[in-house]
Structure 1
Amino acid sequence: MAVLTAVFGLWLVLWALVVPAFQAPDEPAHFDAAVHVATGSGWPAPGALHVSNAVVAAQQEQAAGATDPSAGSATWSTTGELLAAHPGDSATVDQMTQHPPTAYVLDALVLRAVHYGSLRWDHALLALRLLDAALVTPLALLAWATVRRATRSPRAALLAPLALFATPQLASIGASVTNDAPVLLLGGAVVWLAVRLLTGDLRTRTLVALGVVTAALVWTKGTGLPAVPFVGLVTVVAGAGVLPLARRLVRAVVVLGTVAVLGSWWWLHNLVTYHRLQPDGYAAIRPPADFPPGEHPSLLHFVDVSWGTIARTFWGSPGQRAQVSIGDLLTAVLTVVAVVVVLLLAFRRPRSGPDTRATAWCLALFPALLLVLQTASSARAYLATTQVAGTQGRYLFPALLALVVLSAFAWRRIPATDRGRRGLATTLAVVAPAVGVYGLAVVSSWFWNAARAPLTADGVVRYGALGPVPFPLVVVVAVLVAVGVAVAVVQVARATGPGGADRVQRSARV
């Protein structure tokens, strides 16, 4: 398992090195927010923060290098030089103050620790990318532990971290400057603790840990809020048949009370100050508007844009404006196969072993809430502004491990024999990283090779001129990832079946 976790971490590092600066979704705004906090500029009201002139100048240097790479990134300014030469803020709104400042405070601490003022601006940005990669790396370990606990299958557990490779968008987001990185880690921890409760770990420390981690999640980003009703349901369901309903309700009050005391401060502040749970940071630049004469809201248009965008940006559509895609056909195939297999098989009673249906239904609530709330928010924005906005597949990532567990339940029910399960697991262990590698190849060719594939000598030269590190270092990381994935596939192929299961605790202590 240590190998798989290390390989996943290197996979994230590889993405941090390959995607050009400022080309990850909303990365200029995230980086700017971190710099504002690092320089002591505070955290103004939503829509009141503006992108600093220094970050605008950095974007201009990056754009000039992309147009003419002859000078190379070696001539780019340090962050301190940009702040001194370009003081003040631009007219461009930085929407990130619609979120709690939690992630940006952490970013600012790291920037100060690495003396960001003396670093070239792309190296300061890379430092934050590597921080986020480090935060997301434990997701592989959490995937293994969660699936191991839920399925009692060592083979399925080994396959779970490899399943993370099948979502290139996850690597792109997790290795960028973003407030989604701590959300990925904390959301994964919430699902892991929830599964422990649902599979019989009824200890008080597990209960309290779930409340504390959920509180940390909700004061990091609003996409963590659906975790609150999710953990409430989990706490009521966990221990059914062992604890009386009244006892389980009390335990739910303990968890939700912990979340309220530790995690509600930002949201109460919003309700008191703005009379909204989360004000729109884009309100000033995306005001209400009427549909043109003769035009009306179209459900077909909304569904086409909203759900199409969610699917594309869940699997693989990196880039600042999501201009890169792994392809509509591959996205459609992945979406249809994943959804159909989960819906048809994840909620059925297994042929043998413990009944996992209650666990499956509880886990399904988390991504379902994220999807419903995102769609409702987008629909309100569409009716008010005529624009279909706020739809992103990455908004489902807080519940990603719930989806991984549901997939594990479903795929294991297809084969009827252990030999069939071994063959299917080995196939999936090969296919999942292959999708990820394909996504990385698409991104590499798009950004460094003028969208021509495969990567040519011109692309290598271009990276050498504009990349944050020497190209041979990228090759070394890529080789380590390839070797690690090959070792992991062999481990999956050799893994034993359900025997050697975890011992599930049945303690009813509170």
Structure 2
Amino acid sequence: MQSEPHPAVPRRERLWVGVTTAVFGLWLVLWALVVPAFQAPDEAAHLDAAVHVATGSGWPAPGTMHVTNAVRAALQEQADGDSSTWSTVSGLLTAHPGDSTTVNQMSQHPPTAYVVDAVVLRALHYGSLRWDHALVALRLVDAVLVTPLALLAWASVRRVTRSPRAALLGALALFAVPQLASIGASVTNDAPTLLLGGVVVWLATRLLTGDLRRRTLLTTGVALGLLVWTKGTGLPAVPFIAAVTLAAGAGVLTFPRRLLRTVAVLGVTAAIGAWWWLRNLVRFHTLQPDGYAALRPARPFPDGQGPSVWHFLDVSWGTLTRTFWGSPGQRAQVSIGDLLTAVLTLVVLVVLVGWAFRRGRTRRAAWCLAVFPALLLLVQTASSARAYLDTTQVAGTQGRYLFPALLCLVVLSAVAWRRLPLPGRGRAALPLVLSVAFPAIGTWGIAVAAGWFWNTASGPISAASVDRYEASGPVPFALVAVVGVLVVVGWATVVVRLWAPSGVSSRTP
């Protein structure tokens, strides 16, 4: 893509982007309040890791950190019922000192996210908080971290397509992935990873669309360094940014100059984030030791049986699609529907493969943006295949592991959908249909989750569900209802604005 001037964004467009971002933040808050404590993936382990750091217990080697007895006691209190009897964090630490025999696998990651959580806990004087309130406080901090993803999605799509309407739809598309909200509004090291991954992708779109300034290059290196310092799922972003900086400015800058810029940005990244991974190579002779090693020991296949490619692909496909779109719960036991997630995946893949990479102004950017999600999928599949061969279990496949590159998929989708060969009326109606479909999928997702968790998995929410929430939820149900109403009103406002003839234009100003 050649370097071309990009017009200023009108004030009215900025206003609607701000509204959409605020609604996305409220959407995350709603998920933080609806999902019961410890029901997000690995949330007990994430909270326990934060408590380890907050209490000064350090960061032990992978596989050697154990869940505190205090967190195990909190799990037991939750299972017993009424939240009015639940203990404070100090009460749990005093009554249940020390560590259990249960391995906490989170020490396989850098401690970065948990240091942030520990700072928050200390600032809130966590010892005096009831344990579920401390957990919700960390959830809300993560929700704040993930909220800018809507703004970054708009900015990235806007930069590549130059379409105000496509950009606003790009931000609205985040609501169509209920799993994103479920993960982003939980206690997890994925929250800062999502934010930093979004920043890296946005900066990549700027580089690919002609922003060749040194400060943009430096900022990219800093953001990438922080990303790889936070979680291993950020490591595939390193070759991604290398590909971006080598491609950025082609036809304007010579190849030696672009190569020098690539070395520079990777040098900044290494100075900030490489130390943890070099430490692993020196101490453990591997880039990321397996914190699950003690939980999933190696074992041979039963006599007469062996690895099955079909079984591996079948389980991987089902797990990836389900846990990408919407499968909340500690063990991903809730699903917004296997048929729905399969259809959504197939539609997106067909549109992406068919129209995102065709000749045109955005072709080079599209190929570069595809590198990040492709590498994440490849690394995850290779790791899962190795685990399957060693342990006979198809494990480690999670659609949420693609979320650091989610904005790449959003931008590619925006490019592809705009190129669909539709008749005049169909082309005009498509963005309007999508503007309704995105919030509708999100609404279905949270309705399924709420029904599962608060109506004993037996159907939609009811009066009995409200009673259960009042008994063991972290806040009064009225507050949840208010947040839900604000989200619906926000959705309706943005959708009406997109449908209005004088709404957001599809043309470049």
Instruction: Give the TM interval when normalised to the shorter protein.
Output: over 0.9
Report the counterpart of residue 375 of structure 1 in structure 2.
381
Deviation per residue, 1:195-227 (Å, 9 max, x gap): 000000000000011111000000100000000
Distance in 2, Cα, partners of 1:488 & 1:444: 25
Once residues 307 and 58 of structure 1 are traced to their aligned partners in structure 2, the CA distance between those partners, rounded to angstroms, is 35
Match of 2:93 in 1: 83
**1:381-420 correspondence to structure 2 within 5 Å:** 381-414=387-420, 420=426
Tell me the TM-score normalised to structure 1 length.
0.95
The question of whether the paired residues in 2 share the 8 Å contact of 1:96 and 1:281 is answered with yes
Out of 183, 192, 210, the residue aligned to residue 200 of structure 1 is 210
For residue 272 of structure 1, the aligned residue among 265, 282, 286 is 282
> Would the aligned equivalents of 1:164 and 1:170 in 2 still touch at CA under 8 Å?
yes
Q: How does 1:192-231 map to 2 (within 5 A)?
A: 192-231=202-241
Measured in 1, the distance between the counterparts of 2:318 and 2:18 equals 37
Conserved? CA contact 1:11–1:171, under 8 Å: yes
CA distance in 2: counterparts of 1:499 and 1:440, whole angstroms: 35
CA distance in 2, matches of 1:397, 1:227: 12
The residue that corresponds to 1:312 in the other structure is 322
Q: Within 2, Cα distance between the matches of 1:448 and 1:60? A: 18
Matches within 5 A, 1:228-267: 228-267=238-277
Please state if 1:27 is matched with 2:29: no
Q: 2:7 matched to which residue of 1?
A: none
Q: Following TM superposition, by how much is the alpha carbon of 1:285 offset from its aligned partner in structure 2, in angstroms? A: 2.0
Q: 1:45 corresponds to which residue?
A: 61
> What residue in structure 2 maps to residue 6 of structure 1?
22
Residue 458 (structure 1) aligned with residue 464 (structure 2): yes
The answer to whether the aligner puts 1:94 opposite 2:76 as a matched pair is: no
Indicate conservation of the 8 Å contact 1:47/1:281, yes or no: yes
Match of 2:507 in 1: 498
Query: Counterpart of 2:12?
Result: none
Hey, what does 1:506 align to over in structure 2?
none
Instruction: Tell me what 1:360 maps to.
Output: 366
Give the 3-state SS of the residue equivalent to 2:100 in structure 1.
Answer: strand
Aligned partner of residue 90 in structure 1, secondary structure: strand
Q: Residue by residue, what CA displacement relative to the aligned partner does 1:460-485 show, whole Å, maximum 9, x if unpaired?
A: 11001111000000000000000001
Post-superposition Cα deviations, 1:32-87, rounded to whole Å, max 9, x if no partner, equal 0000100000000000000000000000011111xxxxxx2111000110000000
Q: SS of 1:100's equivalent? A: coil
For residue 334 of structure 1, what is the amino acid of its counterpart?
Answer: L
- The alignment status of 1:322 with 2:332, answered yes or no, reads yes
**Which of 19, 26, 31 is matched with 1:15 structurally?**
31
Partner of 1:131: 141
- Percent identical pairs in the alignment equals 72
Q: Secondary structure of 2:230's match?
A: coil
Per-residue deviation, residues 183-204 of structure 1 (Å, max 9, x unmatched): 0000000000000000000000
Match of 2:119 among 109, 120, 133: 109
Shift of 1:452: 2.9
RMSD: 1.0
Residue-pair matches, total: 490
Shift of 1:497: 1.6
Separation in 1, partners of 2:354, 2:392:
36
What 5-or-longer segments of structure 2 have no aligned partner?
1-16
1: CA distance between counterparts of 2:427 and 2:222? 37
SS in structure 2 opposite 1:264?
A: helix
TM-score by length of 2: 0.95
Task: State the match for 1:434 in structure 2.
Answer: 440
Query: What residue identity is the alignment partner of 1:345?
Result: W
Separation (CA, whole Å) in 1 of partners of 2:447 and 2:404: 26
1:416 CA drift (Å): 5.0
Residue 477 (structure 2) pairs with residue 471 (structure 1): yes
Secondary structure of the equivalent of 2:67?
strand
* Partner residue of 2:153 out of 121, 126, 143: 143
Query: What residue in structure 2 maps to residue 184 of structure 1?
Result: 194
Kept in 2: contact 1:158–1:491 (CA 8 A): no
Q: Give the AA of the match of 2:358.
A: R
| Alpha-carbon distance in structure 2 between the residues aligned to 1:29 and 1:336 | 34
Aligned-partner Cα distance in 2 for 1:342–1:16: 32
Tell me the amino acid that sits aligned with residue 123 of structure 1: H
Q: In structure 2, how many angstroms separate the alpha carbons of the residues matched to 1:418 and 1:18? A: 42
Following superposition, the deviation at residue 454 of structure 1 comes to: 2.3
Residue of structure 2 in register with 1:303 after alignment: 313
* Structure 1 unpaired stretches of 5+: 66-71, 501-510
What is the CA–CA distance in structure 1 between the aligned matches of 2:296 and 2:416, rounded to whole Å?
42
Task: Give, in angstroms, the shift of residue 275 of structure 1.
Answer: 0.1
Paired residues of 1:418 and 1:497 also in contact (CA < 8 A): no
**8 A contact 1:214–1:259 mirrored in 2:** yes
Following TM superposition, by how much is the alpha carbon of 1:421 offset from its aligned partner in structure 2, in angstroms?
3.6
Q: Please give the alpha-carbon distance, in whole angstroms, between the structure 1 residues aligned to 2:428 and 2:213.
A: 34
Deviation at 1:419, TM superposition (A): 5.4
Q: How far apart, CA to CA, are the structure 1 residues paired with 2:295 and 2:420?
A: 50
